[in-house]
Chain A
Amino acid sequence: MKRVRFWGTRGSLPVALVAADLRAKLAAALRGASGRAFADDADIDAYLDTLPFDVAATFGGHSSCVEIETGGTDYVLCDLGSGVRPFGQAALAKHGGTPQTYHVFMSHVHWDHIMGLPFFTPAYLPGNRVVVYGGHAVLEEALRRQQARPSFPVDFAAFKATIEFVRLEPGQRHDIAGMGVTLKKQRHAGDSYGYRFERDGRSIVYSTDSEHSLADMKETDGFVEFFRDADLVIFDAMYSLVEAISVKADWGHSSNIVGVEICQRANVGHLCMFHHEPASSDATLARVLADTRRFEEITRAGAPLTITSAYDGMEIDL
């Protein structure tokens, strides 16, 4: 596996950067540039690189969709949130009408994880093949139903690509698209599934919409083993710890603190926080990232754990 690319990183509901947000960023950038002259575009880029991420950029607002570049010819995706729309456009721009195969691994079928499919243009083109994998019996029904009237004007039958559904058994290793794939059932309303992908000695875990019960150490130990020695773990860090175990207990999500603790115990190389709370601003997410890195630093017992916070368009090379 070569690279992970994030097309959608927001939890529960897509969000947009609004005019006031953008204006605040511009004002901060201009204040920082006061009295400074820019000779050319390179000068401007150099200045922008000095600004904090939450001033010069944005975490973005598409709901969950992550691409894994395996090194093979087929595409591999996790979830069909709104981020799959720009992914589809990018794939079309690259390949035109040349048929492609898309393997899609579904964490679950809640709305924010399936809402992008009706806007996934490659699914409408004959010759393409879309294989949807998951642990839920209702996978196909859920995807068909969201395009049934009166919810959407274009029925599922309008897809001219070959659409296949494959139900995977948790706990078993499946060989798909040149990878070893293992599922694990997670604590979430209606269940969700985490995936561990392995190829060429590299491993990635995609574990979103997963609450970790601090009252059940055996369950936590199971996740430590699932994450064991992974190069990258993409982790649902939607809430602060205090929210996750008090007012938002049983909402099916986890925290940055628990992500660090499990990854430290599992000897993970890189923790990428994912499924951001829609109410969180860029400044809030940047502060959470800084706090989480500090938490890792003060609790570190072994090798350092790299910590990032996913944003739409982010790439992680493995």
Chain B
Amino acid sequence: MELASHRYGDVVVAAPVGRIDHANADSLTAALAPFLDPADGAGLLLDFSRVDYISSVGLRVLMLAAKTLRTQQRKLGVAAPTTTVREIFEISRFNLILDLSPSVRDGLARLSPHAVATFDAARPAGAA
């Protein structure tokens, strides 16, 4: 799984696409690995706006990523989940351990004032 990514200040926004299940959870793990490198130091925000579904195996990948970042005093956020994925987070109670935000901008704001300022500066005036 390839993750399109963009850095806003001290936060990287990465965007998985499609279904995350037992068929490609290993691929997501591999794709996330570079962002979990302790040398990076940036926070990580996953833009979930194009994820249709996430299974238990995929949720485990998120939990392990959050755990890894936590040991490095870094943060993981998940932004803009679809209605279905948001429901899965709630039913699995992952909403209790993930830092969820309704939009990428909100997610950046939760992780870093510098990152959201960079994001706003990069957007045309009036854009969401």
Contacts and interface: CB of A to CB of B under 8 A. Distances in A.
Interface string B89-101: 0111110110000
A295 B97 contact: no
A164 to B, nearest CB: 40
Contacts of A257: 56, 91-92
Interface in A216-248: 217, 220, 240-243, 245-246
B17 interface: no
Nearest to A258: B56
Interface centre among B53, B56, B63, B97 (most CB of A within 10 A): B56
A27 B84 CA distance: 36
A261 interface: yes
Nearest to B22: A217
Size category of the B interface is: 10 to 19
Given A217-B22, A298-B84, A241 B57 contact: no
Contacts of A246: 63, 97
B28 interface: no
B60 interface: yes
Given A220-B22, A298-B88, A241 B53 contact: no
Contacts of B88: 295, 298-299
Interface residues of A, number: 21
A243 B94 CA distance: 9
B37 interface: no
A254 to B, nearest CB: 10
Contacts of A291: 90-91
B59 interface: yes
Nearest to A256: B91
Contacts of B57: 214, 217
B91 A243 contact: no
Contacts of A245: 56, 59-60, 63
User: Which applies to chain B's interface (DSSP): helix, strand, loop or mixed?
Assistant: helix
A243 B56 CA distance: 12
A294 interface: yes
A192 interface: no
A93 interface: no
B53 A242 contact: no
Interface string B69-99: 0000000000000001001101111101100
B93 A240 contact: yes
A269 to B, nearest CB: 21
A82 interface: no
A261 B93 contact: no
A214 B87 CA distance: 20
Nearest to A241: B92
B55 interface: yes
Given A215-B60, A245-B60, A245-B63, A261 B91 contact: no
A266 to B, nearest CB: 13
A219 to B, nearest CB: 12
B58 to A, nearest CB: 9
A299 B91 CA distance: 12
Given A214-B60, A299-B53, A242 B93 contact: yes
A292 interface: yes
Contacts of B59: 241-242, 245
A242 B92 contact: yes
A188 to B, nearest CB: 18
Contacts of B87: 294-295, 298
B97 A214 contact: no
A215 B25 CA distance: 10
6 contacts: A214-B56, A215-B60, A240-B93, A241-B93, A242-B92, A295-B87
Interface of B: 22, 53, 55-57, 59-60, 63, 84, 87-88, 90-94, 96-97
Given A217-B57, A245-B56, 11 more contacts: A215-B60, A220-B22, A240-B93, A241-B59, A242-B63, A242-B93, A245-B60, A246-B97, A255-B92, A256-B91, A298-B84
Interface of A: 214-215, 217, 220, 240-243, 245-246, 255-258, 261, 291-292, 294-295, 298-299
